[in-house]
């Protein structure tokens, strides 16, 4: 039995798909005006793990994640750069995919772009206008009547009046109500625009997801996910638009991942603690970043810091050390470790408990290796199988141990040259030079590991 925490009900629920054996899931994607930051990495990795496990336990999953490629921020950035919005968004989409692949993610089955679904967006707005859920204001903007949707606020478990109390919402003269939100906005001179029954313009952000998700997955689907900042107003507005337009329940299970904090503070450019994925990967192996995200259950917040990344690196090295030089069987018989791992993941994708099971398996594997037990290769294969569900242990152990930190320092070739020189010095009984080389490498963060098979090394 799989249990998922449903934001809509505020509790864990047994997961029952609409169609047996199949899952339809939509996740809100990126507004592609800049490089992705570590908060995006949190959402990317969280839902990648969810998709991996759903497929691991046999579900036929259709995973859709949209791309917002028309937006005020996109238009402004393109103007600042002196390029077209298309040139900017295509460049940022390519960079997003590069970042995601570097982090070990598998790309979604579908990635609809807002600009490719303009007719579906216009059609949905027209339905809302015809049903009296939307109106055109005096400025030409088309607004959604939030007060007409009786269940507005159900995702956040608050009534409309409660959500407005104390909120800083600009009341425009063209609006009927402060909570009304824009579905279509007139284009300014020179801006990208599309023809519509309400004049040239472009859609509001919220209506894009409603149109794309229902077109790709149907009016009623299983799971809708996103970051913690999307619960209100974005997802609340999606529900209101979609259910008013289709007269059907929009989504059964709403899932939201936790936020990323930097040194226990909210990540913000104004605080100077804002990091893009690319900046982080200049300092750390991508799998170390992934492990940090996996080490916390997807709904929990994560504290990003150099210290937390170093802890993640140390933990990941323990896993790789168990596989270093170990034969891995081509097949294995699942043991209690697989059962317990899957039980943890079935409990709302509890990755910390799943990882603890993997470390127990590592301890048993290390014992089997020390005893030259014939079951060690199968245990290694089982460890690799469990890790694959989390998107871990996909690198060659030797390579990872030598490249878990990727910034500065000696190159691998330099280190191997020093090791060769040290081996010759020891053969010549020049132990002073041998010790000198070890100390020199230690100062550079390189630890040498001597064994009967030779000398290997890791970066500290």
What distance in Å separates the CA atoms of residue 457 and residue 402, rounded to the nearest whole number?
A: 7
Q: Is 56 annotated as a binding residue?
A: no
Question: What pLDDT is stored for residue 454 in this prediction?
Answer: 80
Distance of CA 373 to the CA centre of its chain: 39
| 47 and 172 assigned to the same domain | yes
Give the mean pLDDT of 333-339: 97
DSSP element (H, E) containing 222: strand 221-226
Q: Please give the structure tokens belonging to residue 325.
A: 């030089």
Q: Please give the structure tokens belonging to residue 436.
A: 């000198």
Q: Is 234 annotated as a binding residue?
A: yes
Question: What pLDDT is stored for residue 114 in this prediction?
Answer: 98
| 325 and 380 assigned to the same domain | yes
Q: Please give the structure tokens belonging to residue 7.
A: 């934001």
Among 75-89, 97-111, 267-281, 444-458, whose mean pLDDT is lowest?
A: 444-458
Give the mean pLDDT of 401-418: 72
| 232 and 326 assigned to the same domain | no
Contact at 8 Å (CB) between 110 and 64?
yes
| 198 and 70 assigned to the same domain | yes
Within a domain: residue 280?
no
Task: Supply the pTM of this predicted model.
Answer: 0.88
pLDDT of 434 above 90? no
Query: For a pLDDT cut of 90, what percent of the chain falls above it?
Result: 77
Question: What pLDDT is stored for residue 360 in this prediction?
Answer: 98
Q: Among the three residues 236, 260, 284, which one is the final residue of a domain in this structure?
A: 260
What distance in Å separates the CA atoms of residue 294 and residue 103, rounded to the nearest whole number?
A: 12
Among 187-191, 360-364, 374-378, whose mean pLDDT is lowest?
A: 187-191
335 Rama class: left (phi>0) / alpha (psi -120 to 50) / beta = beta
Question: What pLDDT is stored for residue 216 in this prediction?
Answer: 98
Q: Among the three residues 228, 260, 292, which one is the final residue of a domain in this structure?
A: 260
Question: What pLDDT is stored for residue 409 in this prediction?
Answer: 61
* CATH (domain of 348): 1.20.120.640
| 368 and 438 assigned to the same domain | no
Contact at 8 Å (CB) between 221 and 213?
yes
* CATH (domain of 120): 3.40.50.620
Q: What's the pLDDT tens digit per position in 298-316? A: 999 999 998 999 999 999 9
- Structural domain boundaries, residue 365: 306-395
Closest CA to 53 of 437, 419, 440, 389: 389
| 389 and 436 assigned to the same domain | no
Closest CA to 346 of 4, 9, 71, 43: 4
Give the mean pLDDT of 345-360: 98
Question: What pLDDT is stored for residue 164 in this prediction?
Answer: 67
What distance in Å separates the CA atoms of residue 279 and residue 99, rounded to the nearest whole number?
A: 11
| 19 and 168 assigned to the same domain | yes
C-beta neighbour count of 402 within 10 angstroms: 17
Question: What pLDDT is stored for residue 369 in this prediction?
Answer: 94
Within a domain: residue 427?
yes
Give the mean pLDDT of 433-458: 81
pLDDT of 442 above 90? no
> Which residues does residue 182 pair with via DSSP β-bridges, in sequence order?
143
Within a domain: residue 275?
no
Q: Is 269 annotated as a binding residue?
A: yes
pLDDT of 347 above 70? yes
pLDDT of 443 above 90? no
| 389 and 416 assigned to the same domain | no
Q: What's the pLDDT tens digit per position in 127-186? A: 999 999 999 999 999 999 999 999 999 999 998 877 766 554 555 678 999 999 999 999
Closest CA to 329 of 261, 399, 273, 385: 385
Question: Quick one: the chain helix, strand, coil %, rounded to 5?
Answer: 50, 15, 35
Q: What's the pLDDT tens digit per position in 180-189? A: 999 999 999 9
Question: What pLDDT is stored for residue 406 in this prediction?
Answer: 55
The sign of the dihedral angle between the CA atoms of 124, 128, 131, 136 is negative
Q: Is the peptide bond before 233 cis (omega within 30 degrees of 0)?
A: yes
Q: Is 257 annotated as a binding residue?
A: no
Q: What's the pLDDT tens digit per position in 218-231? A: 999 999 999 999 99
Q: What's the pLDDT tens digit per position in 257-291? A: 999 998 888 887 777 788 999 999 988 899 999 99
Q: Among the three residues 260, 277, 294, which one is the final residue of a domain in this structure?
A: 260
Within a domain: residue 153?
yes
Within a domain: residue 403?
no
What distance in Å separates the CA atoms of residue 124 and residue 110, rounded to the nearest whole number?
A: 21
């Amino acid at each position: 039995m799989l249990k998922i925490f449903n934001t809509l009900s505020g509790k864990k629920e047994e997961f029952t798909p609409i169609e047996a054996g199949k899952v339809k899931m939509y996740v809100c994607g990126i507004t592609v005006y800049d490089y992705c930051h570590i908060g995006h990495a949190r959402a990317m990795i969280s839902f990648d793990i969810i998709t991996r496990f759903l497929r691991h336990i046999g579900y036929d999953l259709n995973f859709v994640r949209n791309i917002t490629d028309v937006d005020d921020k996109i238009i402004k950035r393109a103007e600042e750069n002196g390029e077209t919005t298309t040139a900017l968004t295509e460049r940022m989409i390519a960079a997003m995919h590069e970042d995601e692949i570097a982090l070990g993610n598998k790309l979604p089955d579908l990635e609809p772009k807002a600009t490719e679904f303009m007719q579906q967006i216009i059609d949905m707005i027209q339905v809302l206008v015809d049903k009296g859920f939307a109106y055109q204001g005096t400025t030409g903007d088309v607004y959604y009547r939030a007060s007409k949707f009786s269940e507005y606020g159900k995702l956040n478990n608050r009534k409309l009046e409660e959500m407005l109390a104390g909120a800083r919402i600009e009341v425009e003269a063209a609006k009927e109500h402060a909570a009304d939100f824009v579905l279509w906005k007139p284009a300014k001179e020179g801006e990208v625009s599309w023809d519509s029954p309400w004049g040239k313009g472009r859609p509001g952000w919220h209506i894009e997801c409603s149109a794309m998700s229902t077109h790709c997955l149907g009016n009623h689907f299983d799971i809708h996910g996103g970051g913690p900042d999307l619960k209100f107003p974005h997802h609340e507005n999606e529900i209101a638009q979609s259910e008013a337009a289709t007269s059907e329940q929009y989504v059964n299970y709403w899932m939201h991942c936790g936020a990323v904090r930097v040194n226990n503070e909210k990540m913000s450019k104004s605080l100077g603690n804002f990091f893009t994925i690319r900046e982080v990967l200049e300092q750390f192996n991508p799998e170390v970043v992934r492990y940090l995200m996996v080490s916390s259950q997807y709904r929990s917040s994560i504290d990003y810091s150099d210290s937390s990344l170093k802890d993640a690196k140390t933990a990941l090295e323990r896993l790789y050390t168990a596989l270093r030089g170990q034969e891995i069987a081509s097949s294995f018989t699942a043991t209690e470790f697989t059962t317990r791992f899957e039980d943890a993941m079935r409990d709302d994708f509890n990755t910390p408990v799943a990882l603890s099971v993997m470390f127990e398996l590592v301890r048993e594997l290390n014992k089997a290796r020390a005893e030259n037990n014939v079951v060690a290769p199968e245990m290694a294969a089982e460890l690799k199988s469990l890790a694959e569900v989390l998107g871990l242990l996909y690198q060659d152990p030797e390579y990872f141990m030598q490249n878990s930190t990727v910034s500065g320092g000696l190159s691998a070739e330099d280190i191997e040259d020093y090791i060769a020189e040290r081996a010759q010095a020891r053969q010549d009984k020049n132990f002073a030079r041998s010790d000198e080389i070890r100390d020199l490498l230690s100062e550079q963060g390189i630890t040498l590991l001597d064994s009967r098979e030779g000398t290997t090394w890791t970066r500290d």
